[in-house]
Structure 1
Amino acid sequence: MAGANKKYVNRVAQATIAVALLVLGLKYLAYAITGSVALFSDALESVVNVVASLVALWAINVSYRPADSDHPFGHHKAEYFSAVVEGVLITLAALLILREAWDAYLSPRVMDMPLEGMAINAVATAINAAWATFLLRKGRERRSPALVADGRHIMTDVVTSVGVLAGLGVATATGWHILDPLMAALVALNILREGVRVITDSLSGLMDQAMDAEEMDQVRDIISQNAGGALEVHDLKTRLAARAMFIEFHMVVSESMTVGEAHIICDRIEEALIKAFEGAQVLIHVEPETEAKQTGVPVV
C-alpha cells in the first residue's frame, strides 16, 4: 500500500512540475508582450512554483524511505521541510515584487498589447486553478504536506492572478497606468501573507502537532469499542508526521489477566485504529489495576 501511495504521490509531484513550467511560460509571455509589472509579479511567483515543486518532489522521495537505525520512526517529516522551503521562497518572491512595484510606481509604464497579454494570463490562471484544486484534494487524501503546500500556493497564485487581471482591465479601460504597480504591490502582500501561513503550518507539523479534535474523538470511540476485557484507558497522546500518525496510551487491566489475554485486547484495538487511520503506529502500555492512578477513556 505504501509503495503504491508513493508512486501515485510521486507522479502527482512530477506532473506539478510540468504544469508549473507550462504556466510559467504562458505568464512570462504575457509579461513580455505587455511590459506590465503586475504580470511580471505573476510570472515571478510562477518561478517560485517551479522551484517549490522540485523541492517537493525531492522531499516526497525522502519521506517514503523506510525506517533505519538512524531514523527508527521513518522519514515522514521530510515533507514539512519542503513546505518550509516553499514558504521562504514565497516570502522572497513577495519582497522582489514589492521592489519592482516601487520602481514602476516612481516611473509609470504604458503597457503594450494589454488585451492579448491578459488573455494569455487568463489561460494560465485557469490551468492553475484546476491543478490547485486537484492538489489540495489529493494532498489531503494522501496526507502529504508537500502536495497540500503546493496546492495552497498555487491557489494563492490563482487569486492574485484574478486580482491582477481585474486591475489591469480597469487600467486599460481608464488609462490609469498607476494601477499596474499598485496591483503588483497588492499581489506581493497577498503572497507574503501566504508564505507566512505555509511556514507556520509546516513548523506546527515539525513540533509534533496532535490530531484535530474530531479525529481525537474518533480515536477514543474506537478504543472504547474494542477494549472489551480491559478496565480503562488513559494518558492518550497522538502526534502527526505528514501522512503518518502515532497513537499511544495506557491500558488498565485486571491483576488476574494473563499477558496473552492482554495482548489479544491490544491487537484488537491496534487493528481497529490502523483500519480507521492508514499508516497509524500504535503503542499501548499495559498496566494492572493496582497501578492505575487516573481515569481515562471508559471501555464499552
Structure 2
Amino acid sequence: MTFPSLRSLTPRHLLMASIGVAVLTIALKTLAWVVTDSVGLLSDAMESLVNLASAVFGLVMVTIAVRPADDDHPYGHHKAEYFSSGFEGILIIAAALGIVWVAGQRLFDPQPVEQVGWGLALSVASSVLNGGLAWVMLRASKEHRSIALEADAKHLFSDVWTSVGVVLGIVLVSVTGWLWLDPIVAMLVALNIMKEGARLLWRSSQGLMDEAVEPEVFTAIQATLDGFAGVHGVPIRFDHLSTRRAGQRRFVDLHMHVPAAWSLGRAAAMRGDVEKALMGAVPGLRATIQLLPSDVETHFFDEDDLK
C-alpha cells in the first residue's frame, strides 16, 4: 500500500480533510461534555467549532488564491490566504471569550464531574485525530508555502494542547475533589488559545502590508546575485533590492547595472539568466529587474512620496 506524497496533498485536499475531522471531533467532544458535565470539555468542544468554521473559510480562500491573474488583479489572488488566517484568529479569540464567560459562571457554581473514564477516552480519541492531521498539514504547508494551511495546522496543534490541559484538569478534579479546578483549567485553556488567535491576526496583518520575505529566502536571493556580480570579469552590479511576500508567492524587485557599451540584446540576455537563476533558487519567486548602465544611479525613494 502506497501513501500520497506531501506534494500531492494540495491545500484544498487537506482543508477538506480538516473539515471532516472537525465534524468528527465536535461530535466526540460534545458527547464527552454531555456524559461528564465538565466545563473544561465544553470549552474543548467550543474550540472544535472554531476549527470547523476556520477550515471551511480556509478552503474558500485557498480556492480563490489559486485563481490566475486577471484584469482586476494583475498580480494574482495569492493574498486571499491572509484573510483565512486572520478570520481564524478572530474566531479563536471569540471562542476564548465564550469559554471564559462559561467557566466564570461555573467557578461560582461548581458542579461534579461525572463518568470521567468515558469523557477522557472520547477527548483523547479526538486529540489523536487532530494531532495526526495537524502534523501532516504543517509539513505540507512548508511544501506549498501556504499560510492558510499553516494557520489551520497550528490551530489544530493548539487544540491538542487544549485537550491535554482539559484532561489534566479532569484528572485533578477526580483525584482531589476540588471542583473549582475544572473552570480554572478552562480559563487557562481560553488564555492559551487567545494568544494563538492574536498571533494569527498579527501574521495576517503583516502579510497584507507586504512584509519582506523570510531571512532564509533573502539570503538565497542575495547569494544568487553574488554569483553573477563580476562573473567572467564583467562588472555587473545589483542595488535597490526590495522584496515582499503574498501568500505562496515571493516577489523581488531590483536594479541591475551593466556596462554602457553592451548592446540591449546582450544586457537582456544576462537579465534573463539572472531571473532564471533567482526563480530556480527560490521556488515561487517572481523577479522584476530594471536594466541600467553602470554609471547611472536612480532615485529609488522620493521624499515627496513620504509626505
TM-score normalised by structure 1 residue count:
0.94
Correspondence 1:43 to 2:48: no
- For residues 286 and 61 of structure 1, the distance between their equivalents in structure 2, rounded to whole angstroms, comes to 36
Q: Does structure 1 residue 279 correspond to structure 2 residue 281?
A: no
Equivalent residue letter for 1:11:
H
**Structure 1: how far apart are the matches of 2:147 and 2:220?**
22
Consecutive unaligned residues in structure 1, runs of 5 or more: 295-300
Contact 1:64/1:75 (8 A) holds in 2? yes
Q: Is 1:233 the counterpart of 2:238 in the alignment?
A: yes
Deviation, 1:214, is 2.2
Equivalence for 1:291: 296
| Distance in 2 separating the partners of 1:226 and 1:28 | 61
2:263 aligned residue: 258
Q: Which ranges of 4 or more aligned residues in structure 1 deviate by more than 6 Å?
A: none
SS at match of 2:196: helix
Mapping 1:130-145, distance limit 5 Å: 130-145=132-147
- Cα distance 1:94–1:218, how it changes in 2: closer, same or farther (>3 A)? same
C-alpha offsets along residues 216-247 of structure 1, whole Å, 9 cap, x if unaligned?
Answer: 11101112213534521001111000110101
Tell me, yes or no, if the aligned pair for 2:30 and 2:45 is still in contact at 8 Å. yes
Contact 2:221 2:282 in 1 (8 A): no
1:282 partner SS: strand
Alignment-mate amino acid for residue 277 of structure 1 = V
Alignment of 1:75-114 (within 5 A): 75-114=77-116
Maintained 8 Å contact 1:230/1:265: no
Query: Aligned-pair distance for 1:13?
Result: 1.2
Amino acid at match of 1:59: M
- Identical columns (%): 38
Report the residue type matching 1:203 in the other structure.
S
In 1, distance between residues paired with 2:8 and 2:243? 24
Are the equivalent residues in 2 in contact too, given 1:6–1:64 (CA < 8 A)? no
Post-superposition offset of 1:293: 6.6
Amino acid at match of 1:223: L
- CA deviation vs aligned residue, 1:183-238 (integer Å, no higher than 9, x gap): 11111111111110010011111111111222211101112213534521001111
The answer as to whether partners of 2:113 and 2:170 remain within 8 angstroms in 1 is no
TM-score (norm 2): 0.91
Give matches, 1:188-203, under 5 Å. 188-203=190-205
